[in-house]
């Protein structure tokens, strides 16, 4: 956390961030057994969503988005997940700000252009050598 934040509540000096801790309804938090059951249920549901996201990483699907969704489910009940999500949000915001820097944008545009030129040259060599034939029909 930064120097202006309160570690206990997680609120910044301007009060934008919510309190850390369980967001379960009061009648659930007031009964220890019910609250423990609630936490187990939230953990299991979050684990299933995170597991589905991990499976989607190599397979088609929005893997990282689903993983962060599972973390958001965990963050409704667990402080450690709330802190991880805050850290992730802060890092993504910093990266977005860096990406909007004119020097970084210029560098990224140059690198993308160089990459496209390389791909175009390789494609041109392929078409020149083999003609416009699909790769599985090459006789050599």
Read off the pLDDT of residues 89-134 as tens digits, 9 standing for 90 and up: 899 899 888 878 888 888 989 999 999 999 999 999 988 887 776 6
pTM score: 0.54
Higher model confidence: residue 8 or residue 18? 18
Question: Which residues contact residue 29 at a Cβ distance below 8 angstroms, ignoring those fewer than 6 apart?
Answer: 22, 35
Given a cut of 90, is residue 60 above it in pLDDT?
A: no
User: How many other C-beta atoms lie within 10 A of the C-beta of residue 70?
Assistant: 20
Q: What letters, b where the CB count within 10 A reaches 16 and e where it falls short, cover 72-111?
A: ebbbebbeebbeeebeeeeeeeeeeeeeeeeeeeeeeeee
pLDDT surpasses 60 at 5: no
Give residue 9's pLDDT band: very low, low, confident or very high (50, 70, 90): very low
Q: What does the pLDDT look like over 46-58, one tens digit per residue? A: 999 999 999 998 8
Judged against a pLDDT cut of 80, whether residue 29 lies above it is answered with no
For the CA atoms of 85, 83, 20, 41, the dihedral, rounded to the nearest 10 degrees, stands at 70
Averaged pLDDT for residues 32-51: 88
Average pLDDT over residues 134-140: 65
The string of pLDDT tens digits covering residues 72-89 is 899 888 888 889 888 988
Q: Are 91 and 68 spatial neighbours (Cβ–Cβ below 8 Å)? A: no
From the number of C-beta atoms within 10 Å of its C-beta (0-12, 13-18, 19+), residue 116 rates as exposed
With 60 as the cut, is the pLDDT of residue 37 above it?
A: yes
CA 66 to chain centre: 8
d(CA 39, CA 44): 9
């Amino acid at each position: 956390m930064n120097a202006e934040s309160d570690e206990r509540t997680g609120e910044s000096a301007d009060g934008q961030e919510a309190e850390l801790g369980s967001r379960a309804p009061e009648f659930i938090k007031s009964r220890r057994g019910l609250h423990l059951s609630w936490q187990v249920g939230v953990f299991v549901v979050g684990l299933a969503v995170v597991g589905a996201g991990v499976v989607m990483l190599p397979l088609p699907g929005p893997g990282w988005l689903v993983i962060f969704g599972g973390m958001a489910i965990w963050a409704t009940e667990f402080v450690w997940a709330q802190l991880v999500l805050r850290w992730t949000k802060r890092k993504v915001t910093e990266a977005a700000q860096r990406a909007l820097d004119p020097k970084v944008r210029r560098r990224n545009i140059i690198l993308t252009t160089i990459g496209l030129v390389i791909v175009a040259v390789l494609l041109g060599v392929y078409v020149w050598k083999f003609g416009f034939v699909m790769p599985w029909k090459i006789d050599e």
